[in-house]
Structures are given as C-alpha cells and as structure tokens.
Structure 1
Amino acid sequence: MTTADTLTRPAETSSRDANPDEALLALARAVRDSGYRFTTVTPATHARVNARPENAVARSLRDVLGWSRPFREDAIPAGLTDLMKQAGVLDRAEEGPDDTLLKARIRLSSLDDELFLHAAYPPLAADSVFFGPDTMRFAEAVLAHLEERARTGRPAPRRAVDIGCGSGAAGILVAKRLPEAEVTLVDINPAALRVAGINARLAGVENVRTVHSDMLSGVEGVFDLIVSNPPFMVDAGERAYRHGGGPLGAGLSLRVVEAAAERLAPGGSLVLFTGSAIVEGHDGFRAEAGAICERSGLEWSYREFDPDEYGEELDDPGYAAAERIALVVLTATRRDGVR
C-alpha cells in the first residue's frame, strides 16, 4: 500500500482486536493535547517548502502530521507511532534518504481552535479527504452568515446540512455554534464520511450525523441552512475531491444551487463557496446560478472572495479559454412564508 492510498482501508496494519477509528480518534486527541497547531497551505506552497533540502526528513510532530514529511520512528513519541499503527495510517515512505523512514497517511490541521483530520500530502487518490485554505475561507463565509443572521434578528437555523462535507469542518463549526440544531454532513465519499464523523467526535459536538448522499437525495425534509464548498476544478483524473464537472468545473456547484432551490425552508439560506473560471470578463457560473435563483424565487447575492486564485491551473488545456479563476460566495435565501 502506498502513501497515496486514502483512509478507506484503515485496518491493514492494526492488530486484530484494535478499533482503527478509536485509535485514530485517540491519536488526534493526544496530538491536540500536546499543543500541536498547523495551518494548512496550498499544495503549491506545500511542494515548495518541502522541496528545501533541510526539509527532506521530519524533525518534529508538525513535520510529520502537518507537512507530511517522512520520519524516523524516534522523531515523535512512541505512543503516537503505536496509535498510527493501530489506526492503519502508517506506511513505509517511498521517498527519503533511506529505507527506514515512515510516513503518516493522515494530516491534522487547525481551524477555529479545533483540529481536523484529513488526507496526507499529496492527496493523489480519487477519494482523498481534502482540507486546505479554501476550507478555511469557506468556514469564514459560513460563520459570517450566521453572525449576520443573529445581528438582523433572524431565527437561528434548526436544521442545517453541509453538502459534500469532506472533512466536515464547516458543518462541525455550525454545530458548535448552534448546539440545539440538527446538523447533517453528506458526501458520496465513504472516506470523507468516516473522517467527518471522527472530526465531529474530536470537536465534541453531539448534534451531528453523517449520511451517504448524492447532493440531498439521501436526506429528507427542508433545511434552514445549506452550506457547500463543492469541487470546482477541471481535473483530468476526475478525482472526487477536486473535479467539478460541467462547464469549466461548475457542474457540481450548479447542482448545489438547484438542490437548495428545492429544499430550502422559508427563511432558509444557502451559503455556497466555490470557484468560477472567468472567460473574457464573463462569469458564466454567476449567470447560470443567478438564473436558477431567479426562477425559484430566491433572493441572492454574489461576491468575489478572491479575484485571482489557482493561476497555475490556467496551464491546463481545460482552462484554455479562461483568463482567471475567482473564488466566489453565493448566498441565496427563500423569503419567509414562500415555498
């Protein structure tokens, strides 16, 4: 098994009686209790920093579980290595100066004073559980929306859902702030649901459930809050955590808008954080998403969170017509009393 394999097969290196999920949770708790913190960077930055000669082999826990560097067994406390073995997330490294090096198949990143498990760098597998700077931006947009609702006297959401939850970060932060709400994390990726469930336990939130679902097909009823940060890139390998499909990667994002148009409760809102490829000054996603909202009677707003991200992706033939990739936030609300 290579380090590119994901968390869907957790028990291969664990003892027969070990519970890999419990071992993974115990590992995360022990790391948190050590005072560990790590801010995840973009893959491009990660590659540059790890390419420095002095970073070839890990020297600290942050190097092992943040920077995903190969390490010698004595580089971290033995108890943590044992938990990794029990969880089945420890491999022999394929890179490094010798064949005694190990590598963790998971990472831990900081957000909102919590730690979140996700896939190690580089996340090559189709079902990798991704967490990056966009996760942090997405969470910021969702929490800002909750603050705005409270400031304007709107009722707190009672039912919320995170579509394509990945690590579960945004939904878990909603659950922290709304302990009386029912928060559902949905994804088509079993690895994501497993990690999101562990992350919810790590954060100590009890009002979260995970459901295997394509969009909202696996859950019933209407929602007061729908949040989503779906894959939005053009990806030739069609990796689930990255490939958006449709026109210039907008396919999944448009499906989220359509799902929200059908399942928002009166007064309910969608907060969608995504990317849009701009062609000759035209934002095709904005036009199509806005049209869906208009047809459905939703009030909506739209802003560019960052006008120019992922510039390196423009070298991909799939973006031949694009001049930039913008990160955007769409907020759509169903008026009270309207269904």
Structure 2
Amino acid sequence: MSNLQAPTLPSEETTAPDTSYDLALLQLGRRLQADGYRFTTVTPLTHERNNAREENRKARSLRDIFGWNRPFETDLLPAAELEALLKTGVLRAHAGLWVSEVRWSSLDDLLFVHSSFPTVAHDSVFFGPDTYRFAQAIEEHLRTSPHPIKNAVDIGSGSGVGAILIGRARRDAQVLALDINPAALRYTAVNAALAGTENVSAWHSDILAGASGEFDLIVANPPYMQDTQQRAYRHGGGRLGSELSVRIVAQAINRLSVGGSLLLYTGAPSVDGVDLFLESARALVDMPNLAWTYREMDPDVFGEELETPTYAKAERIAAVVLTVTRTQ
C-alpha cells in the first residue's frame, strides 16, 4: 500500500478536539441502535415532499430528527445529550429550533451516518435508493461467487456501505474503502466501527491510484450524473455522467486477481437507444481474459433530469450492474 492516508477513529477515552466529532457520531449511532432506530432513506424529491407537509414542519421523534432532518424543539432530546451534540457540531441552531447536521439510515440491521438533507455541499456524502440497490448487488455476488476473497476494495466508498458489507461477510478479508472526499472517509470510519468490521480501513485515494496490488473483489457505486456544479458526490463527468464509471472499469480490470471480479453499480444514460456507458465499457471488457455480465436493475431512475438542458437528448437513465471477472 502506498500514498494512502487513513482517518483516525477515536477510542472511547479520546478527548482530543479533532476527534470529538467522530466520537460523538459513534456514541450517537450506538444510542440509536440501542433504541431500535430505523430509517429508510428515499429519493431527494420524496424527502422534500414529505417534509413539505404541514404536520411535518417540526420533528416529533428521533426518526424525524436524524432521518427526515426536521427542526426540533429542546424537549425532544435529554438536556445533556443536546448540549453534547451541539458542542461537537452534530447539531446546530436553526430558526429558533435545532437541526441535525447528519442523517442516519438503516440497511438491514446496520446503521450508516451520512450527510444531512438536502445534500447540496460539494463534499456531501450521499445515501439513498442507489445505495440499497448497490447493497443488493454485492450481497448477491457474495452469495453466488465461489472465488475466495482475501483482498477487496470499495472505490468511492461514500458512507462505506460496500466495504462494510464485504468486511462483515468475509471476516478474514482485508477491505479498503477508498475515497477522495475526507468527509466520506470520516463517516466510513465511524460506520465501520459501529458495524464492528475491524477488517475495513478507510483511505484517501483517487480511484485506485493510491493502492497497490491485486484484488479478489472490487466494488464501486460512483457518481453518475453530469452535474453542472460538478459536485464531487454527484458528478460523473462527461458523456452524460458516464465518464467516471468508464475510468473505474479501465483501472479496475487491470488490478483483478485471477478469478477476481469487479462489480460496478452505476447509471447508464441512453441517447437514441444507445447506452452510452455500455458503449464505452464494452471496448474495455471484450477481452480474452475477461468474462462479463451486464444487467439493468431499474430501467428508469432520475427521470426529472430529462427536463434539464444537460439531458435534453437523453431518453432515460437506467441503474445497471456490470460484473467483470478475470479468467486468466
């Protein structure tokens, strides 16, 4: 491993100011787990529609505070907990009330911390319907692939879902969670500690540039929109957002062990019936030493983007899974 930098996750005894936020998140996650907290994160439009209802203008429960990100009054949290979360920056003042700076989402029995709603900052860490589909694809691969996994990597790990699912299912594997976003690495470290996956490490890297060696499993759920603001959590580059996904394919197929696989969940824009992502990726994976499959998990996602000038010529955006295995 080279040129990598790992964030430090504090222990319970750590009191240094630069780790207090991370520790506060870990303690909050454990508190929510103990309380049986669960929240399914929806699309931004559905989230907005729910919060716009008059009865939802203020929070009435922990789900409202940490799931729906609704403002809440002082009496909804114990005074000591409120004060501690305000001090560490997990909560902040908002129009005479309080609001959380993070969200907590459920995935089966796991909890993941990620950015608050709406995700508008350039370093936002996204979790939503794509995350659930990505998780389903990984879990299916882990159930059906006979290839042993000793070294795995999650490219653009975000909240760390891919790495943590692999780490929990394959306790003997060493799993890297790679991202260029420091906020994502911090959240991944917290989420890995909360999940008890000590074999998962969060590292700073642009795709695989900072990591060495071959991998038995590479997974990725990269940004795949062409975002006019080029926000890191959302922007997939040119070709209507498919450019980054193609770059990941190009790098990953050269870093697979024999029998190892790349599992890429991404968005595929179509113009005049042509899948722009598949058109580019096919040229990379149609090789004698590679076997690959391609399927649509959802034929129509982010349909509202078709109303924007950027996607004026697009027919649809599909959610797809490309699996590539090195055979020799």
TM range (shorter): over 0.9
Query: One-letter code of the match for 2:46?
Result: T
Aligned partner of 1:146 in structure 2 is 142
Deviation larger for 161-170 or 84-93: 84-93
Describe how 1:46-85 pairs up with structure 2 within 5 A. 46-85=47-86
* 1:87 shift after superposition: 2.9
Deviation larger for 280-289 or 54-63: 280-289
Q: Is the 1:60–1:76 contact (alpha carbons within 8 Å) kept by the matching residues of 2?
A: no
Describe how 1:114-125 pairs up with structure 2 within 5 A. 114-125=110-121
d(CA) in 2 for partners of 1:120, 1:312 = 22
Aligned partner of 1:227 in structure 2 is 219
Query: One-letter code of the match for 2:99?
Result: K
State the Cα deviation string for residues 73-131 of structure 1 (Å, max 9, x = none).
111233432342243121112xxxxx321110001000020100000000110000111
Aligned-pair Cα RMSD in Å: 1.5
Change (3 A) 1:180 1:18: closer
Q: Is the 1:27–1:83 contact (alpha carbons within 8 Å) kept by the matching residues of 2?
A: no
* 1:262 shift after superposition: 1.2
Is 1:33 the counterpart of 2:34? The answer is yes
TM-score w.r.t. the length of structure 2 is 0.93
Deviation above 6 Å: which 4+ runs of structure 1? none
Aligned partner of 1:261 in structure 2 is 253
d(CA) in 1 for partners of 2:35, 2:186 = 24
Q: Is the 1:24–1:87 contact (alpha carbons within 8 Å) kept by the matching residues of 2?
A: no
Q: Is the 2:176–2:202 contact (alpha carbons within 8 Å) kept by the matching residues of 1?
A: yes
d(CA) in 2 for partners of 1:117, 1:79 = 21
Query: One-letter code of the match for 2:47?
Result: H
d(CA) in 2 for partners of 1:246, 1:83 = 44
Q: Is the 1:185–1:211 contact (alpha carbons within 8 Å) kept by the matching residues of 2?
A: yes
Give the SS at the match of 1:19.
helix
Aligned partner of 2:264 in structure 1 is 272
Query: One-letter code of the match for 2:26?
Result: L
Paired-residue identity, % = 54
Describe how 1:130-145 pairs up with structure 2 within 5 A. 130-145=126-141
Aligned partner of 2:289 in structure 1 is 297
* 1:291 shift after superposition: 1.2
Change (3 A) 1:177 1:86: farther
Describe how 1:162-311 pairs up with structure 2 within 5 A. 162-295=154-287, 297-311=289-303
Q: Is the 1:224–1:268 contact (alpha carbons within 8 Å) kept by the matching residues of 2?
A: yes
Change (3 A) 1:236 1:18: closer
Q: Is the 2:151–2:216 contact (alpha carbons within 8 Å) kept by the matching residues of 1?
A: yes
Deviation larger for 287-296 or 238-247: 287-296
Q: Which runs of 5+ in 2 are unaligned?
A: 1-14
State the Cα deviation string for residues 6-35 of structure 1 (Å, max 9, x = none).
xxxxxxxx9969722112111111111111
Deviation larger for 82-91 or 105-114: 82-91
* 1:316 shift after superposition: 1.4
Change (3 A) 1:105 1:283: same
TM-score w.r.t. the length of structure 1 is 0.90
* 1:176 shift after superposition: 0.4
Aligned partner of 1:101 in structure 2 is 97
Aligned residues: 314
Give the SS at the match of 2:86.
helix
* 1:155 shift after superposition: 2.9
